[in-house]
Chain A
Amino acid sequence: MSEALHPVVVEVNGRRREAHVPARLSLVDWLRDELRLTGTHVGCEHGICGACSVMLDGEPVRSCLMYAVQANGHRITTVEGLAKPDGSLSALQDAFCETHGLQCGYCTSGMLIAAQDLLNRIPDPTEEQIRDAIGGNLCRCTGYQQIVEAVRLAAERMKE
């Protein structure tokens, strides 16, 4: 018996994507394995680590906790969609490079999604707000210190 396939039309990083997916295919597996958008990472597949965070209609969600079929008709932004229109690094991405807010890079895409959402809502966040915003994204390399510094730096630069 083969599984039924469901048609989906999703706008991913501004591009219309059409596919037929089995119901049980998670959104993150679809993004990574079918669309080859491998910047979004799989860390736990049970909704704790935050590595798979993407924007769904502009709000961060865990893409391991959604089936691809559920994204039908929605808008997804992944780390590959965070850069400026000319392809250069966004203020936040650049700040992560400036403070070395990453090491192995594995949690980084999820961190960027969570932090970008924070800056979209609160342009001048306190350290506590930053820590709360990335509290659902586990990082094992940095101890979060240089990530918090990166978000602060990005906020300051975006003010200018």
Chain B
Amino acid sequence: MTEPFKYIGKKRRTKEDPRFVSGRGRYVADIALPGMKHVALVASPHASARIVSIDAKPALALPGVLYVLTGEEFCAATDSLATGVDAPKLTRFALANGVVRYAGEWVAAVVADTRALAEDAAEVVEVEYEPLPHVIDAERAMRPGAPLVHPAHGSNVILHKKFVWGSVDEAFAKAKHTLAFRATWGRSSTVPIETFGVAAQWDPGTEILDVWASIQMPKYPDQVARALRLPGNGVRVHYDVDVGGSYGVKRGLKHTVLAGYLAKKLKVPVRFIEDRLENLRGGDMQGPDRFFDMQVAFDSDGTIRAWKIRAVDDVGAYAGRAPFQLGKPITAICGPYRIPAVEYDATSVLTHKTPQEAVRGFGQSPTNFAMERTIDRVAAFLKMDRIELRRKNLIRSDQFPYTIPSGSTYDSGDYHAVLDKALAAIDYPALVARREAARKSGKLAGIGISTCLEPSGGNSAFEVLLNPKNETTTWMDSCLVRVDLAGSITGVMNTSSSGQGHESLVSTVIGEVLERDPGTVRVVRADSLSALPSNSPVGSRMAIMLGGAAAGAAKHIRETLVAIAAHNFECSPEDLEYRGGDVSLKGAPEKKLGWDQLVEIAHRKFHRMPPGVEPGLQAKFVWEVPTGGGLPDAEGRVQIYPCYSFETHLVYVEIDPDTGKPSLGRYVCGHDCGVMINPDIVHGMTYGGIAHGIGAALYEKFSYTEDGQLASGTFMDYLLPSSMEVPALAIVDHCTPSPLTTFGQKGSGEAGYLGAPAAIASAVNDALAPLGSAVDTLPMSHLAIWKAIHLSRHPERSEGSPSAGS
């Protein structure tokens, strides 16, 4: 591949790493405000109950206790958080008012001098409950007569949409074969090592609420202000707080409204940092909890004619944006395959469980898992090689741009090339030989494969598709570039980061455009009152959107410098050449105005400025998502995300047949996200996504007991994979530039996670295939794998259901 870039795509240390390795990050828990008070919460022990009474007096009598806030006061003084789908009767507040709808829901907040004292007091707040019937299973919750989580809504279903794109019934009628099965994705999440935290301070003089938070969320300041009944400019969110990991879930809206209310009411700075137990249970950050009833129609040669996907998602007791996680996958609803007809039936169901929140990929990884299980099952049915079947159905490189039945157009790709590269990198024939040898020696061994898409760019047109009242059609992002009098360059971004290396991104892009060393470009963050519009780093969008905005602003600077030189040389800009910040006359390099001279003119010598050009040297650029802005047509077709990265995963697994214990061996991911701005950052996020996918596939689940209690409420029971469970990982890069973006880049923040669970499920099922067993439910726990082995050997025995777990 030719390398037209000077800095983009080159090995380059990040701007952020040095401060983190020396312990100089600044996270929300590092913010110490003078006189700051601390919050602890009283949480519901019941999945569903009426609050009969709350007695805070014993708590208020303890030393250091300032205040106890209950839902009655809080809900009267604030407005409900927004529900994304059209369900106006659903209200959601940080504190329960009269009714609790899940075990762990916050009932009261205690403010005290220290967190320990607040916890002492929270223990003695006396709450009397009258338990009510509960439902924690989505299918049961949909049946008539099920307890209603929000009786005012009239049903536990808060979203049901059915789309038919193309001649689905005809395809099913004409196809030689059909298959149907259920794939189930267990409730897991990204679970960053930093919990959510927020510090808030009300200034009665300026009437501004200052907020520091570990936040990754679009429209956060607006929503906080609205819930607190403050004007939009009454909340100032400080984005210069390092976020200790998010991957989608750092959306502590309710935490912030609570802390903001307390800070304003008590006129003291208030900090609330979730502890790990609160985070897992009442932090509202659990991910999709979904089953897919898949039907597929195909011919004997492996051609897939259509599929029908019925997805039912258990969203928990309240819903913010979480139901939209059924919508994003519509933008890649046929995966990387040529499938001309698709039916999609999506239902979001309320249950008495912890509310769901956005998780890396926003519903795409579960959907990819279900689609890839389908492909593997078709291959098994036809006794066809899984790779050949994929090759046959993958969209070919000469077919791009490729419009799928649901209306999105895939920008570019070469799926076959990436697959071939990955197969070569892992030495596929040798891997097959290894599997065969392992099987001969009595082991269960399997090879997993997945070929998956990673939609990127974050144009959330699924919102209007699922809720016609919500006509949001822009998901812009912005950047401001300033050059100061000394000639130093500063890029100003307008959101916080949680490890994605945005400062490196912005400095590299600005350096590239202005041909200045990115190491000298400083990147800072505006606060929300001084910020340009941003929709935060969701949906694998920042390389495209922030990168594009930074490039756009830097280009303005460059054009301004050329214009200044043209004015001073009394020539046309076309006669000039920009090189490294200096501007010279083409063919006469001695006739030159250097960077420092141009900067000085812009800042000090208005008499030498071209007419109509602003003095100083700064430029903003606000960019709309490429291909964005459209509304759905009558059939529900709309372009959602603009760019489509592709990943193929190959993984080897061996399973101890006597214990069910899986261990992962070689792992190769072939990845094409277009032009990489910083390869180390892209690779790092991909490796991390794979590890996260390993967790979702084998280890991680929020399990609930029959009585609605979260059973995996600690890190001893919610199991994040360690370096001992994640094998050595290898990535093979491929580059198909996107025609839609500034440098040909696509998104990659969700890479790895979108294909790893599917690949691992493929590997485990390949290992189980000789037994005639299959596992279509994630996570594939040791127990689940053992059961699959055990039942294949002793089909007459079926184990009694465990006393715990759902």
Contact = CB atoms under 8 A, between A and B. Distances in A.
Q: In the complex, are there CB atoms of A and B closer than 8 Å?
A: yes
Given A97-B14, A106-B27, A106-B193, A140 B247 contact: yes
B242 A132 contact: no
Nearest to A110: B193
Interface string A91-126: 001101111101111111100100000000000000
B249 to A, nearest CB: 11
B193 A140 contact: yes
Given A102-B21, A127-B728, A143 B689 contact: yes
B499 interface: yes
Nearest to A105: B20
Contact of A104 (B22, B245, B715): B245
B192 A146 contact: no
Contact of B691 (A41, A80, A143): A143
B270 to A, nearest CB: 16
Contact of B724 (A33, A43, A93, A132): A132
B722 A136 contact: yes
A145 B685 CA distance: 11
Given A108-B21, A144-B723, A103 B501 contact: yes
A148 B691 CA distance: 14
A83 B22 contact: yes
B684 A141 contact: yes
A142 B684 contact: yes
A24 interface: yes
Interface in B415-447: none
B498 interface: yes
A140 B688 contact: yes
A40 interface: yes
Q: How large is the interface on A (under 10, 10 to 19, 20 to 34, 35 or more residues)?
A: 35 or more
A149 to B, nearest CB: 10
Contacts of B275: 45
A134 B721 CA distance: 12
Interface in B200-253: 242-247
B639 interface: no
B177 interface: no
A41 B30 CA distance: 9
A159 to B, nearest CB: 21
A89 B728 contact: no
Interface string A73-95: 00000111011000001000110
Interface in B703-738: 714-716, 720, 722-724, 726, 728-729
A25 B115 CA distance: 11
Contact of B23 (A109, A131, A143): A109
A109 B17 CA distance: 12
Judged by DSSP, the binding face of A is: loop
Given A96-B17, A143-B687, A42 B500 contact: no
A94 B276 CA distance: 31
Given A43-B193, A97-B18, A100-B14, A141 B688 contact: yes
Given A108-B20, A144-B691, A145-B728, A48 B27 contact: no
A110 to B, nearest CB: 9
A134 B714 CA distance: 20
B23 A37 contact: yes
Contact of A146 (B63, B247, B680): B680
Q: Is the interface of B mostly helix, strand, loop or mixed?
A: loop
A107 to B, nearest CB: 5
A46 B687 contact: no
A108 B32 CA distance: 22
A38 interface: yes
Contacts of B195: 43
A145 B190 CA distance: 18
A48 B499 contact: no
A21 B23 CA distance: 24
A47 to B, nearest CB: 9
A4 interface: no
A37 B244 CA distance: 17
Contact of A106 (B190, B244, B687, B690): B244
B722 A97 contact: no
A39 B20 CA distance: 8
Contacts of A99: 680
Interface in A30-61: 32-33, 36-46, 48-49, 51
Contacts of B685: 103, 141
B17 A97 contact: yes
Given A38-B29, A104-B498, A106-B194, A45 B22 contact: no
Given A38-B29, A42-B29, A105 B499 contact: yes
A25 B116 CA distance: 9
B25 interface: yes
B761 interface: no
Interface string B27-49: 10110100000000000000000
B422 to A, nearest CB: 16
Contacts of B549: none
Contacts of B17: 96-97, 100, 102, 105
Contact of A100 (B243, B684, B720): B684
B720 A140 contact: yes
A69 B789 CA distance: 52
A86 B680 CA distance: 28
B51 to A, nearest CB: 28
B714 A46 contact: yes
B790 interface: no
A1 B63 contact: yes
Contacts of A71: none
Contacts of B688: 103, 139-143
Residue from A104, A135, A144 whose CB has the most chain B CB atoms within 10 Å:
A104
Interface in A3-29: 22, 24-25
A105 B25 contact: yes
Nearest to B17: A97
A1 B245 CA distance: 39
Contacts of A2: 63
A105 B244 contact: yes
Contacts of A136: 722
A79 B22 contact: yes
B71 interface: no
A39 B276 contact: no
A104 B194 contact: yes
B687 to A, nearest CB: 3
A152 to B, nearest CB: 11
A53 to B, nearest CB: 12
Given A2-B63, A138-B193, A143 B752 contact: yes
Interface string B94-136: 0000000000000000000000100000000000000000000
B650 to A, nearest CB: 16
A147 interface: yes
B681 A100 contact: yes
Contacts of B18: 89, 97
A104 B499 contact: yes
Contacts of A25: 116
B192 A135 contact: no
Contacts of A45: 275-276
A49 B16 contact: no
Nearest to B115: A29
Given A1-B63, A140-B192, A103 B684 contact: yes
B724 A131 contact: yes
* 9 A-B pairs with the lowest CB-CB distances in the bound complex, closest first: A39-B23, A105-B20, A104-B499, A106-B244, A103-B499, A143-B691, A143-B687, A48-B715, A79-B23
13 contacts: A39-B24, A49-B193, A79-B21, A104-B194, A105-B17, A107-B193, A109-B23, A135-B724, A136-B722, A140-B193, A140-B691, A142-B687, A145-B728
Interface of B: 13-14, 16-27, 29-30, 32, 63, 116, 190-195, 242-247, 275-276, 498-501, 680-681, 683-685, 687-692, 714-716, 720, 722-724, 726, 728-729, 752
Given A48-B715, A103-B681, A105-B244, 15 more contacts: A41-B29, A43-B193, A44-B714, A80-B23, A100-B17, A100-B681, A105-B499, A106-B244, A127-B728, A138-B193, A140-B247, A142-B684, A143-B691, A143-B752, A144-B722
